[in-house]
Amino acid sequence: MAKLLKTGAGLFLARVLQPLFSFVLFWYCARRLSLEDFGLYILLMSLILVFQAVATLGLGPMLTREISVDKEHGPQWIGASLAVMLPGSLLAWALFVAFTVAAGYSPGMVQGAAIVGAGLPGAVLGQVAESAFIAQGRSKPMVALSALENGLRVGASVAALTLGYGLQSLLVIHVVSRSLSGICALLMLRDGRPGLAVLSREKARALLRGIPSFGMMVLVATFYFRMDIIVVSLFMGEAAAGIYGAAMRLVSLTFLMPESLVAAIYPALSRTMHATDGHARELTRFSAGLLAVVCTAVSLFLYGASSQLVPLLFGPGFVQAGGLLAVLAFMLPLHAINGLLGFLLQSCRKERTALRIVSWGTAGTLALYILGVRLGGLEGAAWAGLIAMGSIALFHMWYVGTRIFPLGLASAMALSLPGAVSGIAVGFWLPPVASALAAPALFLGWLALVGVLRPAPLRCALRLFAERGGAPCASSS
């Protein structure tokens, strides 16, 4: 478990660099661009992730799984993935532009899609390398590559805006930095070894067979996390999408914490799921309990800081986004549970079951978003997303607990709900003069409550952190 936490921490650092650098860029963009151009930039950066999933055909998790259990044939898997994904990136580029035209977006949006889409082949190279690095447990190259790409992108973008260039310059810089990062990723993956990628028709056919399950699941899941921006932009305009996107960017930053731990755990789950020693069950139960406790604490912190954090980062024009953040913050523990149990289903080779859950969840969430926006505007969209994500988390826990193995999360879940509700109640009653203390008070108070009522996960995590190794303690959950 200690090694997994170390890999997860490295992966978290690699992935968190992008939104951290982006905060600098967004802060500067909010002051240099008009609200409409800023909303357009947010919308393009959200949509490109959907079409990036189309470009990679959603095969990143499958590639990680196959390399982790078949390391001897790693070069064949890498070569096959490049042969399958690179043509997919060109198709995704064309589909991106066609979508913006068909959806009736402005000419500026269509032109922006044509520019940003040119970075999809580079994104494919980066995805293949990242999947291989995760399977090999190598987090340092991912950190270096993330720092290279995001440092170059943000530094050049800030310089371009300072010199008076506009939105298009940001999009060109995005493409150049993404392409350079993808090329460097493959060079670092090779690391002086011959035979980095060997084309294997057998492995390519195996990857193609995985598209209906893995590919559709990743594509639908990616659309799930971007449909809110799309719905808001279609019904309320690009400026409203910028306000909503500012709050969602902060929440998305916290999503990287559970996503990184879950990505590090996934290879171990894939190797041990069918063993009879119960390690996979204990690993899942410990990770789920730890994520539920820590993520709820972070949600309470964001809730307490929401009224001040968004205007501080993005300017006084984004005051409304603070109220949205107070609602969206509580998506974090639900997202953590959904991610962990979704990967668990994949490690059990129940990809089709996971796809059905994600597909029905996405359809229901889309309907809720449309209803929420029509009835309540931006606030309605935030509440619709929270309700939908909670419903999917409950179904995930029910399915895994009844069809695979008992999760034993009753005490953690029972503690999280009243803890979050009581934290919100305290936040509402805090006087304005004390609002600056709300975030740290809720965060530390929650951890103190957990330390008294359910100390095992926190004690185990602290021991692993202090020792940087030692015996696994998953059984302590």
* Angstrom distance (rounded) from CA 244 to CA 381: 9
At residue 448, the pLDDT reads 60
* Angstrom distance (rounded) from CA 333 to CA 322: 19
Asked if 319 and 454 sit in the same domain, the reply is yes
* Angstrom distance (rounded) from CA 246 to CA 316: 12
Within 8 A by CB and 6+ apart from 12, the residues are: 256, 257, 260, 261
Within 8 A by CB and 6+ apart from 65, the residues are: 135, 266, 267, 270, 346, 347
Decide: 309 and 325 in contact? Cβ < 8 Å: yes
At residue 312, the pLDDT reads 78
Asked if 42 and 164 sit in the same domain, the reply is yes
Tokens in use for 140?
Answer: 């340092």
Asked if 115 and 46 sit in the same domain, the reply is yes
At residue 85, the pLDDT reads 87
* Angstrom distance (rounded) from CA 203 to CA 351: 18
Helix intervals (H) in 199-278: 201-210, 216-224, 227-236, 238-272
> How buried is residue 150: exposed, middle or buried, by Cβ count under 10 Å (0-12/13-18/19+)?
buried
Query: Structurally, how many domains does the chain consist of?
Result: 2
- The amino acid present at 240, given as its one-letter code, is A
Asked if 197 and 276 sit in the same domain, the reply is no
Give the three-class secondary structure for 455.
Answer: coil
* Angstrom distance (rounded) from CA 49 to CA 222: 7
At residue 159, the pLDDT reads 93
Asked if 126 and 270 sit in the same domain, the reply is no
Residue 477 covered by a domain = no
Residue 219 covered by a domain = no
Residue 333 covered by a domain = yes
At residue 473, the pLDDT reads 47
Asked if 196 and 256 sit in the same domain, the reply is no
Report if pTM > 0.85: no
Asked if 247 and 158 sit in the same domain, the reply is no
Tokens in use for 401?
Answer: 């607990």
The C-alpha angle with vertex 259 and arms to 366 and 212, in degrees rounded to 5, equals 55
Asked if 358 and 262 sit in the same domain, the reply is yes
Residue 398 covered by a domain = yes
Asked if 179 and 240 sit in the same domain, the reply is no
Name the residue among 369, 120, 326 with its Cα closest to residue 226.
369
pLDDT along the chain (477 residues), means of 10: 53 64 79 84 87 83 79 80 88 94 90 94 88 76 80 91 89 93 84 62 81 73 84 88 86 81 71 64 75 79 80 79 88 86 79 82 93 93 90 85 71 48 48 50 58 55 43 40
At residue 205, the pLDDT reads 85
- The dihedral region occupied by 260, where left means phi > 0, alpha psi between -120 and 50, and beta the remainder, is alpha
Name the residue among 335, 424, 320 with its Cα closest to residue 381.
320
At residue 250, the pLDDT reads 84
Residue where the block lists tokens 């020693």: 277
Nearest-10 Cα torsion for 284, 287, 289, 293: -160
Asked if 184 and 266 sit in the same domain, the reply is no
Name the residue among 137, 59, 57 with its Cα closest to residue 90.
57
Count helices and strands (H / E) in the chain.
19, 0
At residue 96, the pLDDT reads 94
Residue 104 covered by a domain = yes
Asked if 131 and 262 sit in the same domain, the reply is no
Please identify, among 212, 242, 268, the residue that sits at the C-terminal boundary of a domain.
212
Show the domain range for 107.
1-212
Residue where the block lists tokens 């185990």: 460
Asked if 191 and 329 sit in the same domain, the reply is no
Name the residue among 199, 197, 148 with its Cα closest to residue 177.
148
Please identify, among 181, 212, 243, the residue that sits at the C-terminal boundary of a domain.
212
At residue 156, the pLDDT reads 93
Residue 220 covered by a domain = no
Please identify, among 212, 234, 265, the residue that sits at the C-terminal boundary of a domain.
212
Tokens in use for 324?
Answer: 């949205």
* Angstrom distance (rounded) from CA 25 to CA 430: 33
* Angstrom distance (rounded) from CA 21 to CA 152: 10
At residue 422, the pLDDT reads 47
Residue 267 covered by a domain = yes
Residue 51 covered by a domain = yes
